[in-house]
C-alpha cells in the first residue's frame, strides 16, 4: 500500500467499512509512515469535531411534546379526537356484528372460538417450548441478548479473527477445548456441513472483555466469518436473568454492531453466534446454515445429563490462546 492509497482509504477505515485484511494493511502502513499517521489522526480529529459541531441542534421541547401528543392520539390513547388505529378499528367492526341481530349468535360462536384458542395459546406459552412461534412479547424480550455480549463478540471477531485471517494449514479444535466446554470438542466437525464453501482458518478457545468463546475462524473470498459458542449467562442477557426457555424455532436473532453483523441462536445453556461484515440479511442466512445445526447439536448434548456446566467462566491460567 502506498501513501496515496492509504489517504484514499482513511475515512472508510475510520468508519469501519474496510475488510479486516485491509484494516491490517492500513495499520502496517501507518506504523511505518509518519506523515500518513499524522493525516490519519488529523482526520480522526476532524470527524470528532464534525460530530461535536453537528450535535448542538436539538428538537425543541414544544415540538417533542406535540409529537408525544400526536403519538398518543394516533394510538387511540388521547382525548375524544383520537384517531382509531387498526386494532381498535377491528374492535369497531366486531361491535357492529353484535348490533346486527341476525349475526349475533355467529359472533358469539366466533368469540368463543377465539377465547378457547387464546387460552390454548397461553397454555402453550406457559410450557415455554410448546409452540415457539407463539412467544409473547415479554418472552421475546427476555431472549434479547445484552449489548455487552454483542460488543464482546464483535470485539473478538475484529481482533482475534483478523489475527487468524491468513492462517494456513488444517485447523482442528484442540483437545484442550474440553477445559472450556466439553460439548465444543467436535465443534469444527459439527459445523462442517453448514460451512460448505467456507475455508476454516483456525479453531480455538479465546477471550475478549472477560468473556470466553469457542471460536471457529472462516474466510470466504475476502470476507472474514466467525462462529462463536459461549455461555448463556446473566451477563449475556439484556434482562440480566437467563430465561428458562430458549426459543429454538425463533429463527436467527440479528444485530448490527459497529458495522459487523451478528446472527445468534440460543440453547438452554449456550449461545451460538455468527459474525461477519456481510449485510445483516446475508449474515442471518449464513447463521442459519452455520449456527443453527451447531445449536441443534448442542441442544442434544444438553438434553442428556452429565454435561458439566462450566462454560463462560474465565480463568486466565486456562487460556489456550493468548493475544
Interface residues toward another protein, by CB under 8 A: 7-8, 11-12, 14-15, 17, 35, 38-39, 42-43, 45-47, 49-60, 63-64, 66-68, 70-72, 74-77, 85, 87-88, 91, 140-141, 144, 253-256, 259, 279-280
| Sequence-ordered list of residues with C-beta below 8 angstroms from that of 122, at least 6 positions apart, any chain | none
Nearer to another protein, 40 or 173 (CB): 40
Nearer to another protein, 53 or 241 (CB): 53
Cβ–Cβ < 8 Å for 132, 249: yes
Nearer to another protein, 30 or 195 (CB): 30
Q: How far is the CB of 83 from another protein (least distance, A)?
A: 10
Minimum distance from CB of 321 to another protein (Å)?
A: 29
How far apart are CB 178 and another protein at their closest, in Å?
A: 32
| Least gap, CB of 90 to another protein (angstroms) | 9
- Is the CB of residue 259 less than 8 Å from the CB of residue 277? yes
Closest CB to another protein among residues 14, 321: 14
Grid coordinates representing 158 are 475484529
Quote the least distance from Cβ 7 to another protein, whole Å.
Answer: 7
* Smaller CB separation from another protein, 193 or 282: 282
Amino acid at each position: 500500500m502506498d501513501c496515496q492509497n492509504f489517504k484514499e482509504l482513511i475515512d472508510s477505515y475510520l468508519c469501519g467499512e474496510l475488510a479486516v485484511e485491509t484494516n491490517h494493511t492500513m495499520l502496517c502502513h501507518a506504523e511505518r509512515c509518519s506523515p500518513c499517521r499524522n493525516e490519519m489522526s488529523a482526520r480522526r480529529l476532524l470527524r470528532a469535531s464534525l460530530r461535536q459541531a453537528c450535535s448542538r441542534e436539538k428538537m425543541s421541547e414544544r415540538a417533542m411534546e406535540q409529537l408525544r401528543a400526536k403519538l398518543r392520539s394516533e394510538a387511540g390513547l388521547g382525548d375524544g379526537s383520537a384517531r382509531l388505529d387498526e386494532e381498535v378499528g377491528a374492535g369497531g367492526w366486531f361491535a357492529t356484528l353484535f348490533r346486527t341481530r341476525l349475526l349475533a349468535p355467529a359472533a358469539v360462536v366466533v368469540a368463543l372460538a377465539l377465547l378457547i384458542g387464546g387460552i390454548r395459546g397461553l397454555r402453550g406459552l406457559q410450557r415455554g417450548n410448546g409452540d415457539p412461534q407463539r412467544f409473547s412479547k415479554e418472552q421475546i424480550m427476555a431472549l434479547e441478548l445484552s449489548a455487552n455480549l454483542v460488543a464482546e463478540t464483535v470485539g473478538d471477531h475484529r481482533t482475534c479473527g483478523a489475527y487468524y485471517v491468513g492462517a494456513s494449514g488444517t485447523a482442528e479444535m484442540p483437545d484442550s477445548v474440553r477445559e472450556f466446554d466439553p460439548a465444543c470438542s467436535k465443534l469444527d466437525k459439527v459445523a462442517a456441513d453448514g460451512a460448505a464453501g467456507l475455508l476454516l482458518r483456525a479453531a480455538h478457545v479465546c477471550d475478549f472483555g472477560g468473556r470466553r468463546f469457542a471460536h471457529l475462524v472462516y474466510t470466504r473470498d475476502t470476507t472474514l466469518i466467525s462462529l462463536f459458542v459461549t455461555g448463556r449467562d446473566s451477563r449475556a442477557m439484556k434482562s440480566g436473568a437467563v430465561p428458562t426457555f430458549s426459543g429454538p424455532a425463533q429463527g436467527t436473532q440479528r444485530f448490527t454492531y459497529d458495522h459487523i453483523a451478528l446472527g445468534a441462536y440460543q440453547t438452554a445453556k449456550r449461545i451460538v453466534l455468527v459474525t461477519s461484515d456481510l449485510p445483516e440479511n446475508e449474515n442471518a442466512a449464513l447463521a442459519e446454515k452455520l449456527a443453527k445445526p451447531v445449536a441443534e447439536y448442542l441442544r442434544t448434548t444438553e438434553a442428556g445429563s452429565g454435561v458439566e456446566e462450566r462454560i463462560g467462566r474465565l480463568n486466565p491460567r486456562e487460556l489456550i490462546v493468548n493475544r
